[in-house]
A and B are shown apart, each in its own frame.
Chain A
Amino acid sequence: MHLVQQLLFVMVLAAAVYLFARKVREIRRNILLGRDVSLNDNPGERWRNVLLLAFGQKKMFRNPLVAVLHFFVYAGFIIINAEILEIILDGAIGTHRLFASPLGSLYPVLIGCFEILAVLVLSGCAIFLIRRNILKLKRFIGHDLDGWPRSDANYILITEIVLMVLFLTMNTADQVLQSRGSEHYIATGNFWISGLLTPLLNGLSDSSLMALERGCWWLHILGVLAFLNYLPFSKHLHIILAFPNAYYADLRPKGKMENMPAVQKEVQLMLQPELAASEPPAEGIPKFGAKDVQDLTWKNLLDAYSCTECGRCTAACPANITGKKLSPRKIMMDTRDRAEEVGRALNKQGTFQEDGKALLRDYISEEELRACTTCNACVQECPVSINPLHIILQLRRHLVMEESSAPAEWNMMFGNIENNMAPWKFSPDDRDQWVVGS
């Protein structure tokens, strides 16, 4: 009987890991659809960002109360996963609480800590559910989240609550069985939380308790493995990608826009034609700006997969606050959705064939792009180092330079700068008129 359980466990574990690894490879391939940029300079500062922004969740603390709750859930989730190691070994070897005897009196202390964290995770998730569904905070009721994204958020919170309840129930049953001196349930000493809950289960018979303990054990580990495989399809992927995304975060001042060396060169040759003779002929026609996900950088796509749709960007966006269509969160969600769509086509056909769609217009409209003031509030607010502005500006470049699509007022502004050296129609000769009478 034991052997069957062990075999079953190893098979389920292997399947879960295999499926997860396959999806991870797929996401990696999708991210690398983006154009190449080198983001490996200053490793010191980059590791510092990983430490402060990802591990330390520095930006979350712009709102301390939520930050503390989120920190509980995050720390709880990571640390309780140390317990998963024991669970996996127990499952594979067929032991029960393998670490109890080598750790001795330290074991109940460790489990006690895990249990306290479990209670914190449970309460944190419960409060988050209330904030989303009862208090209906503004950033959680935006239309960007209609449909699947809103359910996704709730599924994640509910799953975490269920997993924690299973963990605590399992331990409580174990404690009762221990106190009855049941064979197989070795005495570990008192667990801090489940030790208090034993009166709830005292009325049950040994066999029901064992069934309950085993049931919870299986459901818990199956739940964890299922959750692992849910991650890559969910906004919750941020628990993994927040780390690389912090490492590859832009280190330059936020005000700096990416240069376009191709245009720089072209204008240089126009202004200094004498250089053209020594210039090697250009290779192909360069593309200006971005129309689809392949034109964005891989960091933009990593950003999209790192987004957990919290909406801090959109809540700070001046365009969104004043009722415009632009929502930086939607920019990121659209980018991921399009990358996934292209990825699905790749899965089917092996190579990507034009599907008549693009990120621009099929997902993100001109109206959204036009409303951006480039104020960087979205970039500033993002706790996981996402830069929606970089995507917006690349799409704008495509609109203006590839399609000559700009509002009439902008075309006038371009013309004025070109002809009068100022965005307004003033004579360049009047530029120093203010001096008169100074």
Chain B
Amino acid sequence: MTIKTMAEYAASGETPEVLFWVGCAGSFDQRAQKITKAFATILDKAGIRFAILGKEESCTGDPARRAGNEFIFQMMAQNNIQVLNGYGVKKIVTACPHCFNIFKNEYPELGGNYEVLHHTSFLQQLIDEGKIKMTEGGTFKGRRITYHDSCYLGRANNIYEAPRKVLEALDAELVEMKRCRSKGLCCGAGGAQMFKEEEKGITRVNFERGREAVDTGATVIAANCPFCMTMLTDGVKEQGKEDSVQVLDIAEIVAKQLGD
């Protein structure tokens, strides 16, 4: 598959349908890179003309802003908006709910107005439109899957159904954790916690969530965020279940189930 950048599209005088904003985790984190590749594969198979920014992409500024450093946030945001507006970007899809939230809610008042979709909503649209078809009786048939609501997709933006609809298309058994949807427990990474040690406590947030996820008896934990991915993977390890319980992004699950 060839993945073109905005610069390459612009050079050939073409415009892509959508910009795939990969995000820092999706670009650099080895585990998250697999999610990025899976989602790019799906876009490719569905025949979506998408572009990435490549080396022109930068951090959205989310962790800096939430840690309290507004200067760095504003620097990143204004630079990004300049790049995006320069290419005339209209529509963005991203596999990171933090990037999604900041584009959707915080860039508009700085001059960055785009139609923004989280990849789970995008996947649901592709399924609804029949652009991607899942194979019958694939890897996940009959398996027990539990879905972890990320805070920035769920409570922050009230998106609870799209990811579940995608999973329902799998022919798997979807089970909920006790704390789900608007009551979902955080993985522990948000608010720039990903980048520092936790404060002193009786346990780690991701251990608490990992235990809850493992307790459902699910063999797959579905995530929608690269940071939740890291946190939940460690949480499952802490439960000693890394051999029997997989933590997968919804894009990875869909990619594995794609018909030809």
* A-to-B contact residues, CB < 8 Å: 62, 252-257, 259-260, 263-264, 266-268, 270-271, 288-289, 316, 318-319, 321-326, 367, 370-377, 379-380, 393, 396-401, 406-407, 409-410, 412-414, 417-418, 421-424, 426, 428-435, 438
> A253-B156, A423-B59 given. 8 additional CB < 8 A pairs?
A271-B79, A319-B201, A319-B205, A377-B155, A396-B67, A407-B196, A414-B67, A414-B69
In the complex the two chains form, is B192's CB within 8 Å of A322's CB?
no
Q: Which one of B36, B58, B202 contacts A322 once the chains associate, using CB atoms below 8 Å?
A: B202
In the complex the two chains form, is A417's CB within 8 Å of B70's CB?
no
A400 to B183, CA, bound (A): 30
Q: Which one of A326, A377, A413 contacts B186 once the chains associate, using CB atoms below 8 Å?
A: A377
Instruction: Find the A residue at minimum CB distance from B182.
Output: A380
In the complex the two chains form, is B68's CB within 8 Å of A406's CB?
yes
Asked, given contacts A413-B63, A422-B24, A422-B59, whether A401 binds B70 with beta carbons under 8 Å apart, the answer is yes
Asked, given contacts A374-B66, A434-B33, whether A264 binds B110 with beta carbons under 8 Å apart, the answer is yes
In the complex the two chains form, is B54's CB within 8 Å of A323's CB?
no
In the complex the two chains form, is B1's CB within 8 Å of A438's CB?
yes
Residue B45 lies at the interface, judged by CB distance under 8 Å to chain A:
no
A323 to B201, CA, bound (A): 4
In the complex the two chains form, is B186's CB within 8 Å of A373's CB?
yes
Residues of B in contact (CB 8 Å), total 74
Chain B residues near A418: list those with CB within 8 A.
72, 75
Nearest CB on B from A320, distance (A): 9
Chain B residues near A393: list those with CB within 8 A.
66, 68
Nearest CB on A from B54, distance (A): 4
Asked, given contacts A322-B208, A410-B195, whether A401 binds B71 with beta carbons under 8 Å apart, the answer is yes
Residue B198 lies at the interface, judged by CB distance under 8 Å to chain A:
yes
Residue B129 lies at the interface, judged by CB distance under 8 Å to chain A:
no
A434 to B35, CA, bound (A): 10
Residue B90 lies at the interface, judged by CB distance under 8 Å to chain A:
no
A264 to B109, CA, bound (A): 10
Chain A residues near B172: list those with CB within 8 A.
none
A62 to B207, CA, bound (A): 26
Chain B residues near A410: list those with CB within 8 A.
67, 69, 192, 195-196
Instruction: Find the A residue at minimum CB distance from B44.
Output: A438
In the complex the two chains form, is A396's CB within 8 Å of B68's CB?
yes
* B-to-A contact residues, CB < 8 Å: 1, 3, 5, 22, 24, 26-29, 33, 36-37, 40-41, 52, 54-55, 57-59, 61, 63-72, 74-76, 78-79, 82, 101, 104-106, 109-110, 151-152, 155-158, 182-183, 185-186, 188-205, 207-209
Could you say which of A268, A421, A430, A435 has the most chain B C-beta atoms within 10 Å of its C-beta?
Answer: A435
Chain B residues near A438: list those with CB within 8 A.
1, 3, 37, 40-41
Instruction: Find the B residue at minimum CB distance from A405.
Output: B68
Nearest CB on A from B56, distance (A): 9
Nearest CB on A from B107, distance (A): 10
Chain B residues near A397: list those with CB within 8 A.
68, 70
A321 to B188, CA, bound (A): 11
A379 to B57, CA, bound (A): 32
Instruction: Find the A residue at minimum CB distance from B97.
Output: A255
Chain B residues near A325: list those with CB within 8 A.
199-200
